[in-house]
Amino acid sequence: MLRYLSTRLVRALLTICFVVTFAFVILRLSGDPALLILSPDAPPEAIEAFRKSWGLDRPVWEQYVRYFGAIAEGNLGRSMRDGRPALDLVLERVPATLALTIPALILKLVIGIPAGIYAALHRNKLADRMTMLFSVAGFTVPSFVLGLVLVLIFSVNLGWLPSGGQDSWIHGILPVITLGTAGAAVLARFTRSAMLEVLGQPYIRTASAKGLAWHRVVVDHALPNAAIPTVTIVGFMVGSLVAGAVVVESVFSWPGVGRLLVVAVANRDLAVVQTILLFVAATMVCANLTVDMLYGWIDPRLRTRRVAGAG
Amino acid sequence: MATVTDDRIAADPTAVGPPRSRVARFVEAWPPSVLLALGWIVAMLLIAASVEWIAGYAYTAMDLRARLSPPILFGGTERHLLGTDELGRDVLSRLLYSIRMSLLIAFFGTLIAATLGTFLGILAAHFRGWVEDIVLTMIDFQASMPFLIIALAVLAFFGNSLILFICLMGFHGWERYARISRGLAIAANEQGYAGAVRQLGAPAWRIYGRHVLPNIASTLIVSMTLAFPETILLESGLSFLGLGVQPPLTSLGNMVGYGREYLTRAPWIMLAPSAVIVLTTLSISLVGDWLRDRLDPTLK
């Protein structure tokens, strides 16, 4: 178990290094950072001073090492627009995003998982077909279309709910529903196929052949096994809590991290973009690590299996 | 492949019974929903191919006297069947041009991703060892980051151009093809036919290009069909945010993004492209699921 966890930890660190390298490489490939961050018509002395202070006059490998050092110290640069540290800008937007994505995650879990299990247990019945129809719709209707149609119905035509902003919890209803419905559809589809896969296994037939009541077969044998793949996708959803609302925040003018990212990309505010990229990578890696630990708990085979085979 | 399908039907207890009519068999092989979806896809392809001849107006042509004119069924004129936008541009003509743009981007994006992924997957399967480790680490990285965030970062660092944007779409989902082709190529390498050609002295590119690839092609084509709608959604999402296709060019997501400003006064600007996005992704998904069930029941 310890070896299993330590390989996962090394892999997590490697992923973080990979993201940092990715940011470094595209930052260097995109042109001279001095010209990008200052403007091309800045005085030559200012550009020279900037290069020196950022170490841009050093060889590439030294820049790379310094870049790692700066990030390890939490020095992610300043926003081009108002000169504040990029990390502060990002951190102060996190609560607003979580205020949308956590209720949406609960909505996804509460609708998606029971719907998927129910559909799998009633395969090819009406309930199953309705669930699949809903899940296909959830997959093919982009969130900005769903959001705008909800605004058109509930804000413009009926006048029941506000169409954007963040003044009260009522403003959060439409964005949470938009986010939650699409995710619930994905989760329902995923849970259903995981359940169907498990229900087709020989041990399920054995369990019901030995006379076990069907609900016991489902609760004791099918659900724990179907939980393994489902945990992976839920982990991905938890990992994208911070960045999962880019489009929806833009539709509803919700001042979260996603909205900040879109504005920063449009203005090419590189320090902020880079900070969000690393922040998202860190949350994804933490979520994946948690999922890996949960695996060890849900699936006893992983605790005893040799690391070489764990892949 | 046909025998696999026949075996499955024969093994299915519900299939045993009196012989069914031709109509019933036809409906089973070609469900009506799939036929409708295929019809919609063919219509979209025809529009994309012939947009210059069927669009009544150029997509930039303005008619300032007919701004925000509603569609014909909502009190508009027959000069603009789907109404006009805030600059008096014909929504129908812009929609047709947008369909071509979105389909082209999604097509090239999917093609690039499939080529790249398959190449890397086969590379990993051929060399194994550290090459495989690198490819697998890259796959893990790609699969563990939300692609939208990576795409936004690249757009921020490099700025935007149509070619760059298409290449960016080509990085979406390559890891799935890499995973599939690696697995299949490793399996194929252990089968007799690949070994036989190798014994005959064929070089590696010939073994993979002429023998292994044709054998794994159906699985890859099914994956491409399933990935295509995702690429359309990604493109339209980025364009909706104003970070994808840039004006004066137009794409479906781009039209929704601009139409959003006129949601209260002129909802048709946004509704027409939204409907096309939903119907197109829905149709391709339906056809993709159907193809998967027919060609490759292992891919679930």
Residues of chain B positioned with their CB less than 8 A from the CB of A19: 141, 145
Residues 113..172 of A with a Cβ closer than 8 Å to B: which? 136-137, 139-145, 148-149, 151-152, 156
* Whole-number pLDDT of residue B111: 92
How far is the C-alpha of A288 from the C-alpha of A232, rounded, in Å? 8
Q: How far is CA A32 from CA A38, B17, B158, in A?
A: 10, 74, 11
Under the banding of pLDDT at 50, 70 and 90, the label for residue B117 is very high
% of chain A beyond a pLDDT of 90: 1
Measure the CA angle with vertex B116, ends B113 and B121; round to 5°. 115
Give per-residue pLDDT as tens, A30-59.
666 666 666 666 677 777 777 776 666 677
| List of chain B residues whose C-beta atoms are within 8 Å of the C-beta of residue A28 | none
CB contacts of A276 in chain B (<8 Å) are 149
Asked whether B94 and B80 are in contact (CB, 8 A), the reply is no
pLDDT at B20 over 80: no
Nearest residue, CB atoms, B156 vs list A156, A240, A270: A270
CA distances from B142 to A18, A241, A268 (A): 10, 18, 23
User: How much is the pLDDT for A30?
Assistant: 67
The string of DSSP letters for B248-292 reads TS--HHHHHHHHGGGTTT-THHHHHHHHHHHHHHHHHHHHHHHHH
- Write the pLDDT tens digit of every residue in A275-305: 888 888 888 888 888 888 887 777 777 666 5
Q: Hey, which residues does B90 pair with through a beta bridge?
A: B84
Domains and CATH numbers, chain A: 94-255 (1.10.3720.10)
Summarised one tens digit per residue, pLDDT across range B249-268 is 888 888 888 888 888 878 88
Minimum mean pLDDT among A131-145, A225-239, B13-27, B136-150: which range?
A: B13-27
Residues in chain A within 8 Å Cβ distance of B41: none
- Closest by CA position to A99, among listed A149, A168, A163: A168
- Interval B107-132 mean pLDDT: 89
Chain-centroid distance, C-alpha B228 = 2
| CA-based nearest distance A265→chain B, Å | 5
The answer to whether residue A32 neighbours chain B at the CB level (below 8 Å) is no
- The CB density around residue A304, as the number of other CB atoms within 10 Å, is 8
A197 touches chain B (CB under 8 A): yes
Residue B142 has pLDDT above 50, yes or no: yes
Q: Give residue limits of the domains in chain B.
A: 31-299
pLDDT tens per residue across span B54-91: 777 777 777 777 677 777 777 767 777 777 777 778 88
Q: Do B267 and A152 touch (CB under 8 A)?
A: yes
Check whether B28 has a pLDDT greater than 90.
no
CATH fold of B31-299 reads MetI-like fold (1.10.3720)
Chain B hits for A264, CB-CB cut-off 8 Å, are 156
ipTM greater than cut 0.90: no
Q: How confident is the model at residue B110 (pLDDT cuts 50, 70, 90)?
A: very high
- CA B90 to chain A, closest CA, distance in angstroms equals 21
How would you label A35-55 residue by residue, b for 16+ Cβ within 10 Å and e otherwise? ebbbeeeeeeeebeebbeebe
pLDDT at B3: 40
Kindly list the residues from chain B whose CB atom is less than 8 angstroms away from the CB atom of residue A280.
145-146, 149
Minimum distance, in Å, between the CA of residue B157 and any CA atom of chain A: 6
Q: What is the mean pLDDT of chain A?
A: 79
- Return the percentage of chain B with pLDDT > 90, whole number: 8
pLDDT at A169 over 80: no
* Of A246 and B156, the one with more pLDDT: A246
What pLDDT is stored for residue B70 in this prediction?
A: 74
> How does residue B39 score in pLDDT terms, banded at 50, 70 and 90?
very high
Q: In the prediction, which pLDDT does B112 show?
A: 93
Considering only residues 83 to 142 of chain B, which have any Cβ-Cβ distance to chain A shorter than 8 Å?
137, 140-141
Residue A11 in contact with partner chain B when CB distance is under 8 A: yes
Question: Hey, are the CB atoms on B141 and A15 less than 8 Å from each other?
Answer: yes
